[in-house]
Structure 1
Amino acid sequence: MTGDRIDYEGDGLAEADLADNPYDQVTAWVDAAVARQQDLGDVPEPAALSVATVDEDGRPDVRTVLMRFLDPRGPGFVTNLASTKGRQLRAHPAVAASLTWPSMFRAVRFRGSAEEIPEAEVTAYFRQRPWGARISAWASAQSQPVGSREDLEAAFAGYAERYPDHGGATDVPVPPEWGAFRIVPDRVEFWGGRRNRLHDRLVFTREGTGDLADAGAWRVTRLQP
């Protein structure tokens, strides 16, 4: 593939500007991405998270989801637990993920293990979703074949009739196979693009049992680009 080369005009990331723990740094960059989308509109999905899993043969599998949880325990996302990624993570919890904001010349990489988010947290989040999104969670047997678009829309219509929108948080129950995973990282890398491909790569590597907000649990290393 050929084409015009873009020289990255990002600010990079110096050690002096790095938070003392990965949680504060992630949240600062996510907040900046959200603010830029609101101001300039060139970060259309600030929470788009590419998630890589492995199948039963050890082959990688990657897809993009939306990061719906972020706290000191790690980033998280929702899914049908019977979907491809749900089945893979239950069998092999090793996981990697990344947040990428090309217009800001920034990215964050997570590497660690996945754990299921408790049912109470999943239910609380599900009840905040728009009614249509709750209905689609019932209508879609995620990752399974479907005969046609019409079949999918018919399933949606059927569940919409079963669980009509009355404006309440409990109008639609949580589907039995609907859940969420949290990534518990042992490595978090912050990438900042710079001119001449001399990018900044600062990595937090776990050295203790603390969470993402525990500065004492992490060691920082600079990697060559």
Structure 2
Amino acid sequence: MPSLFLALLLTSPLPTSYALEIDPSIVASAAVHTAGAHLSAEGAVAMAKGAELSSEDVARLLDKRRKIGKAHQWLGISTWIAMTAASVFGTIQYRNLYGFFSPLEATPCVEGRAIFGQDACIGRPVSHTTTVALGGALYFTTFGLSFAMPDPIGLDEGDSKSARRLRQHKRLRWAHLGGMAAQILLGILSANGDAFGLSRSENYRALQGIATAHLLVGYATYATLTWSGAIMLK
């Protein structure tokens, strides 16, 4: 049930800090032990990077990564909070307009029992729209910053726990990006049914299906974003 799923999601721990760890195997592999020694794939990559950058350059880039990473962390937490609010208000709006798989005549808006009053049944839901807009702005800013962090020593390489965790974090960003894109498209269609020839009185079930898909994709995206942040906890 969507309400139960949301309750479970809201109990997920809020990401509070992220670890920036250097895989010792990568640093160690950059050294040449003896003539003719066999280098691992990670060592070859590290040596190639080291040949291009001086130690001062590496230190400068790591410091830049640390500073951007701090902003990325706090923007990520802010995004999570905004998306939590958007999920709550979105669930309330769905309940008002469609009940939970209810026919049109049995929805809270028709029966006069809408949360936040009957005004919530007309026009755009201010609370949901505001939190969605804020969450979207924070999300795409945070997403962009993830590509601005330099990585001169290959922190996501190797087989350490921190490297595996960072690789997973990077893969998950594509999953929640896809979810965000799908949510935007479904939300536009759901909120502007008349513009697409979908009347609430004549095409109620179609609109209910679109709104349900929007809600479920939102839950899945929220869960993926929570997972992505949680794995970076110390």
Q: TM-score range by the shorter chain?
A: under 0.3
Query: Which structure carries more helix by proportion?
Result: 2
Q: Which has the higher contact order (CA 8 A, sep 6+)?
A: 2
Q: TM-score, normalised by structure 2?
A: 0.22
Q: TM-score, normalised by structure 1?
A: 0.23
Query: Which structure carries more strand by proportion?
Result: 1
